[in-house]
Amino acid sequence: MEFLTAIFVSPFIEIYEYPLFFIEVVLGGLLAGVMYSLVALGFVLIFKASGVFNFAQGAMVLFAALTLVGLIEHGFPIWLALISTIIVMIALAMAIEKVVLRKLVNQEPIILFMATIGLSYFLDGFGQTLWGSDVKVLDLGIPNAPIEFLGILVNQFDLVAAASAGTLVAVLAIFFQKTRIGRALRAVADDHQAALSVGIPLKTIWAIVWAVAGLVGLVAGIMWGTKLGVQFTLTLVALKALPVLILGGFTSIPGAIIGGLIIGMGEKVAEVFWGAAFGGAIEDWFAYMLALAFLLFRPQGLFGEKIIERV
Amino acid sequence: MLYREAGQFKTSYAKDQAIFPILQDRVMMVLMLVVAFVGVPMLASEYWLSTIMLPFLVFSLAALGLNLLTGYAGQLSLGTGGFMATGAFAAYKLAVAFPEMNIVIVFLLSGVITAAVGVLFGLPSLRIKGFYLAVATLASQFFLIWMFNKFPWFTNYSSSGVISAPPRAVFGDFFVTGSSASPANKYLFTLVIVCVLALAAKNIVRSHVGRSWMAIRDMDIAAEIIGIKPLQTKLGAFAVSSFYCGISGALWAFIYTSSVEALAFDITRSFQILFMIIIGGLGSILGSFMGAAFIVLLPIFLSNAPTMFGLNISVDLISHMEFMIFGALIIFFLIVEPHGLARLWQIGKEKLRLWPFPY
């Protein structure tokens, strides 16, 4: 009985009594969700264009952040370090395409999935062999003090993260809609064979997609790295992005954004108002359960393509 | 020359349906069992038994369970670690609550409990498939581990959250768990369980149950049309697979490590077992064992290799290099033989049949 009250009654009373606090929690959750979206975006880009479920996205986030911090520690100015990291990520994408993907063309999706897990082990080890495994501080001068806005406390850093995510999505949208390469990417995403037959170089496109995913990973790495410090646990944010993916659909960029917002908000609200009823720390699995419950009603996710099956 | 089946006629249905229809296979199997049951306990040192053979057997069982689900029924699952934890904690609660119950029954019951949990978390498989399902099974992984960590009831209110296996004997004073059990006893007991369950698995996949799993795997809609019920088939696969994983988890907690905490069964464990079946070969009983051997031996080899070659590298660097080499080897194996070690073995056998006169 006590348990039922803790689930069905007292959280709502709390929300009703402190509406401002509730709004603050929701806002904080939304902004945290933006960070999940950043990671999920990388997954979606690659899945859309090549049908590969890229488990190494988390490792790419860590690798990009490690490279950036490592270069800055070696005395590079920030702008040069950024450019070098971008070059490294592009080179990495080309290497992955050449060494891994090209050899595994036409294999089952699960084989490619396992290859990306292998890749994530490799990148984790490689990054830490190069740059060491201590926790590094990434400071690009992003302000990190809470500001008050209409009586609600908001962290400035979260606002910057949200703004950069918004910019990133806008740039990606323009890139996909307006440029020649973007159109080729969409064509490949729609139908590999048709794209090949009109003369789109599939291999180049894959390298470009992985490079773009690497750059998205870099942005995510900068944001997460500033928040948590650059360390091994950054790869775990990939696991946080997975429920976002099933919620938003593997193939939808807006889905990744909206899914991230829903997951971020749901997680925070659940933790703050319902967490006590379950004994706390429900953040670990709540996102998955939310996504799971959601899947029962829409198996293809929020914006995923409806799967039509024929025998 | 050695591996020639010419002249071996199958004159009865029983012979036609034998698991090993070729005489040489039977001889080799018997030899391997003799080596496993007699040779290894006599020759291997305690270190070998408890750090290589025991984890190999326990992992084989888990890989077998996952292979039934993923390799035969086609349902990709990342919740293996969670199911192993369920088996471990169920066995612990049962063994402590009913001290006079035989340990074999405890293990079987914990398998049954895990099977029930597996069916529950297999329910999403009726609506979703492929990677969506894989991510959905991660929910079970995170939820179960959180649950075992969070509620002290599961660990009998131990302050550290660690469960330690109580000493139990199978019969008389043949102790298999606890501090008084010798590694040889543990090894033999595990080996018997693994052999029995492997035989059962082989027969399940040869029966109509296994064939309906494979039909669902190959094309679920077509399978439905020829009269295979997806509900029973998919949930059945989840139940049997979780049963194997649960027993494997119980063996892990009781026999391999003797004391365990929930975090030992985290997400990396699930990936490790998935690696085993991919490297070993999806949809192959033998492959599960080969994959387990590979994944158990590789890290041991990698961490000993630098000292073997006389290189002096810091421990930190070695562990990072291990990660790198492990990842690279996985990719290499997938590129060279995406169908796993079992496929290599099969190709080898085909070659051997014609050797030394291939034309």
CB contact under 8 A, B334 and A239: no
pLDDT of residue B236: 95
Per-residue confidence at A311, pLDDT binned at 50, 70, 90? low
B79 neighbourhood in chain A, CB within 8 Å:
none
- Residues sharing a CB contact under 8 Å with residue A296, sequence separation 6 or more, in sequence order: B124, B127
- pLDDT, tens digit, for every residue of B275-289? 899 889 888 999 999
B21 pLDDT tier (thresholds 50, 70, 90)? confident
What's the pLDDT score for residue A45? 84
> Residue B81: pLDDT above 90?
yes
Contacts of A292 in chain B (CB under 8 A): 124, 136, 139
Q: Fill in the amino acid letter for A213.
A: A
- Most trustworthy range by pLDDT among A221-225, A264-268, B202-206, B325-329: B202-206
- Sequence ranges of the domains in chain A: 2-297
pLDDT of residue B49: 87
- pLDDT band at B334; cut points 50, 70, 90: confident
Average pLDDT over residues B314-326: 79
Q: d(Cα B254, Cα A124) in Å, to the nearest integer?
A: 33
Greater model confidence, A307 or B345: B345
Q: From the CA of B256, how many Å to the nearest CA of chain A?
A: 26
- Say whether pLDDT at B161 is over 80: no
**Cα(A24)–Cα(A10) distance, integer angstroms:** 19
- Tell me which of B247 and B8 has the higher pLDDT: B247
Is pTM beyond 0.95 here?
no
Distance in angstroms (rounded) separating the CA atoms of residues A50 and A43: 11
DSSP B175: B
In this predicted model, which residue has the larger pLDDT, B146 or A233? B146
CB-CB under 8 Å, B151 with A117: no
Mean pLDDT of B8-19: 87
pLDDT bin (cut points 50, 70, 90) of residue A234 is confident
Q: Report pLDDT for B307.
A: 74
Closest Cα in chain B, distance from residue A199 (Å): 27
Closest CA to B163 of B172, B152, B173: B152
The minimum CA-CA distance between B128 and chain A, rounded to whole Å, is 6
Q: What is the pLDDT of residue A297?
A: 77
Contact A137, A229 (CB under 8 A): yes
Residues 6 or more apart in contact with residue A87 via CB below 8 angstroms: none
Are residues B320 and A133, on separate chains, in Cβ contact within 8 Å? yes
Inter-chain touch A122–B130, beta carbons under 8 Å? no
- pLDDT confidence bin for B157, thresholds 50/70/90: confident
* Contacting residues of A for B150, CB less than 8 Å apart: 278-281
Residue A294 pLDDT: 78
B334 min Cα distance to partner chain A (Å): 7
- What are the two backbone dihedrals, phi and then psi, of residue A199, each rounded to the nearest 5 degrees? 90, 25
If 0-12 CB within 10 Å is exposed, 13-18 middle and 19+ buried, where does residue B25 land?
A: middle
A139 HSE (CA, 13 A, CB side): 5
Nearby residues of B307 by Cβ (< 8 Å), 6 or more positions away: none
**Which residues in B lie closer than 8 A to residue A120 (C-beta atoms)?**
327
Q: Give the whole-angstrom CA distance, residue B326 versus residue B337.
A: 16
Inter-chain touch B335–A103, beta carbons under 8 Å? yes
Q: Which pLDDT does position A310 carry in this prediction? A: 59
Backbone angles phi, psi at B280, to 5 degrees: -70, -40
3-state secondary structure chain A: CHHHHHHHCHHHHHHHHCHHHHHHHHHHHHHHHHHHHHHHHHHHHHHHHHCCCCCCHHHHHHHHHHHHHHHHHCCCCHHHHHHHHHHHHHHHHHHHHHHHHHHHCCCCHHHHHHHHHHHHHHHHHHHHHHHCCCCECCCCCCCCCEEEECCEEEEHHHHHHHHHHHHHHHHHHHHHHHCHHHHHHHHHHHCHHHHHHCCCCHHHHHHHHHHHHHHHHHHHHHHHHHHHCECHHHHHHHHHHHHHHHHHCCCCHHHHHHHHHHHHHHHHHHHHHHHHHHCCCCHHHHHHHHHHHHHHHCCCCCCCCCCCCCC
Question: Does residue A275 surpass a pLDDT of 80?
Answer: no
Q: How far apart are CA B71 and CA B68, in angstroms?
A: 6
More confident: B80 or B174 = B80
Beta bridge partners of A136: A230
Give percent of chain B above pLDDT 70: 99
A·B CB contacts under 8 A:
131
Residues in A touching B146 (Cβ below 8 Å): 281-282, 284-285
From B135, B323, B330, residue closest to A114, measured CB to CB: B330
SS3 state at B259: strand
Q: Which amino acid is at A119?
A: L
Q: Give the minimum alpha-carbon distance from A154 to chain B in angstroms, rounded to a whole number.
A: 30
Cα dist from B336 to A103, A113, A121, A123, B323, whole Å: 9, 16, 19, 21, 20
Q: Which whole-number Å values give the CA distances from B267 to A71, B144, B264, in the listed order? A: 32, 11, 9
Q: What is the pLDDT of residue B114?
A: 96
Instruction: Tell me what the mean pLDDT of segment B336-346 comes to.
Output: 88
Residue B50 has pLDDT above 70, yes or no: yes
Give the minimum alpha-carbon distance from B278 to chain A in angstroms, rounded to a whole number.
8
Whether residue B48 is predicted with pLDDT greater than 90 in this model: the reply is no
Residue B152 confidence (pLDDT): 85
- pLDDT per position as a tens digit, A123-169: 988 888 888 777 777 777 666 677 776 666 777 777 888 888 888 88
Taking residues B160-165, what's their average pLDDT? 82
Burial profile B307-332: b = 16 or more Cβ within 10 angstroms, e = fewer: eeeeeeeeeeebbbbbbbbbbbbbbb
Q: pLDDT at position B35, please?
A: 92
User: pLDDT tens digit string along A179-192?
Assistant: 888 888 888 877 77
Nearest residue, CB atoms, A295 vs list B130, B132, B331: B132
List CB contacts (< 8 A) between A309 and chain B.
Answer: 221
Pick from A108, A119, A299: CB nearest B327: A119
Q: Tell me if A242 and B135 make a contact (CB, 8 A cut-off).
A: yes
Higher pLDDT, A113 or B116: B116
Q: Please report residues of A whose CB lies closer than 8 A to that of B327.
A: 118-125
Mean pLDDT of A204-233: 86
Q: How far is A193 from chain B (nearest CA, A)?
A: 22
Complex confidence, ipTM = 0.81
Q: How far is B288 from chain A (nearest CA, A)?
A: 16
* Span A48-62, average pLDDT: 85
List CB contacts of B342: < 8 A, sequence separation 6 or more.
B280, B281, B284, B286, B287, B290
Residue B282: DSSP 8-state: T
Q: Which of B131, B271, B326 sits opposite A53 (nearest CB)?
A: B131
Question: Directed axis angle between helix B267-280 and helix B315-336, to 10°?
Answer: 40
Task: Kindly determine whether residue A279 and residue B132, on different chains, have CB atoms separated by under 8 Å.
Answer: no
What is the reported pLDDT for B188? 92
- The total number of residues shown for chain B amounts to 359
Cα–Cα distance, B106 to B103 (Å, whole number): 5
Taking all residues of chain A, what is their mean pLDDT, rounded to a whole number? 82
More confident residue, A68 or A21: A68
CB contact under 8 A, A120 and B151: no
Examine the pLDDT at B135 and tell me if it is beyond 60.
yes
B191 — pLDDT class (breaks 50, 70, 90): very high
CB-CB: which of A117, A288, A311 is closest to B142?
Answer: A288
Pairing of strands B259-261, A146-149: unpaired
pLDDT in the model for residue B68? 95
Is B325–A117 a contact, with Cβ atoms under 8 angstroms apart?
no
Partner-chain contact B150 A299, CB within 8 Å? no
Mean pLDDT of chain B: 88
From the list A129, A285, A311, the residue facing B219 with the nearest CB is: A311
- pLDDT for the residue numbered B83: 95
* Residue of chain B whose Cα is closest to the Cα of A236: B267
Band of residue B273 on the pLDDT scale cut at 50, 70, 90: very high
Burial class (CB in 10 A: 0-12, 13-18, 19+), B13: exposed
pLDDT of residue B248: 96
Cα separation of A271 and A280, whole Å? 7
Q: Which residues pair with A285 in a beta bridge?
A: none
Render pLDDT for B204-223 as a digit per residue (tens, 0 to 9).
999 999 999 999 999 888 99
User: What is the band of A306 on the pLDDT scale with cuts at 50, 70, 90?
Assistant: low
Number of Cβ within a 10 Å radius of residue B170:
16
- Model confidence band, residue B193 (pLDDT cutoffs 50, 70, 90): very high
Does CATH number 1.10.3470 belong to domain A2-297? Answer: yes
